[in-house]
A and B are shown apart, each in its own frame.
Chain A
Amino acid sequence: MSIKIRVRGKVRGGVAEIKALMKHPMESGRRMNKKTGKPYPAKYIDVVEVLLNGTKVIEGEWSGAVSANPYMAVKVKANKGDEVVIKAHDNTGATGEAKLKLK
């Protein structure tokens, strides 16, 4: 299953603010299923990458303590027309990718 990512970005004064919203349960593996008494299995995004024109500029490592449907905003020095790619990977091996041309 792939991870859905929505990404937006805007360049202002040579700096792009990139905002990404991912659709993911971010299950930490600690939450109990009250019916069965067993915890829900862990499923969370563990690695997020931000690429600018094909070069990795930011790498985030996450745990299950990041909220469900995670939001992330970062800032990168960039110009209009630059290409931003956001990549995500979770602990079960699912991946997702989103592309954006900066305006």
Chain B
Amino acid sequence: MKRRSFLKGTLATGAAAVAVNAGLLTPSTVLAEWNKAAFEAKKVDDAIKVLYGTTETVESGDVVLKAPEIAENGAVTPVTVDATKLDGVESIAILADKNPTPLACAYSFSGPALGYVSTRIKMGETMNVIAVVKAGGKVYKTQQQVKVTIGGCGG
């Protein structure tokens, strides 16, 4: 009889593992999984929807997006997103709306990390850089146009 209960136990844990694999449990339990669907989205709204589950965003002056007005070389466009004025920033995403796949990078924060990120992205032509910040259950969006004189894709 012991053997039977042992078998039952292993079957139950096996089913739980399958549930995790199939994505039935919340994704927060499975960390460091590259968000393929968001990065392959061809439209800004689609990418934001995959990332945050909504396209309803709030414009806010507390999210500061720093990007050059004119980028001479689109292959290295410096972009800084400063949301340190907001409390409890959970994530920041940077998108370039006319790139073939707009989502360039997405960061998630926890504990002592502040909502601040500075990086350099590639831009194929003149377009808007969009910063999306999630803090305290709200999704904030800020955008700025960057004029590109030399495209960054296709070398």
Name A's B-contacting residues (CB within 8 A): 15, 26, 28, 30-32, 46-47, 49-50, 52, 55-68, 70-78
Contact = CB atoms under 8 A, between A and B. Distances in A.
B35 A62 contact: no
Contacts of B155: 31
A67 B101 contact: no
Given A61-B107, A62-B105, A68-B76, 7 more contacts: A50-B113, A52-B111, A57-B112, A60-B105, A67-B120, A73-B80, A73-B117
Interface residues of B, number: 37
B120 A66 contact: yes
A55 B111 contact: yes
B137 interface: no
B113 A61 contact: no
Contacts of B116: 73-75
B105 A63 contact: yes
Contacts of B100: 30
Interface string B100-127: 1101111111111110111111100000
5 contacts: A50-B113, A57-B113, A62-B105, A65-B101, A76-B113
Given A31-B154, A46-B34, A63-B101, A72 B108 contact: no
Contacts of A70: 119-120
A28 B113 CA distance: 29
A54 to B, nearest CB: 12
Contact of A52 (B96, B112, B117, B118): B112
B114 A63 contact: no
A56 B111 CA distance: 9
A65 B77 CA distance: 10
B113 A66 contact: no
Contacts of B39: 61, 63
B32 interface: yes
B27 to A, nearest CB: 13
A49 B32 CA distance: 9
A76 B32 contact: no
Given A56-B110, A57-B110, A76-B113, A63 B103 contact: yes
B55 interface: no
B119 A59 contact: no
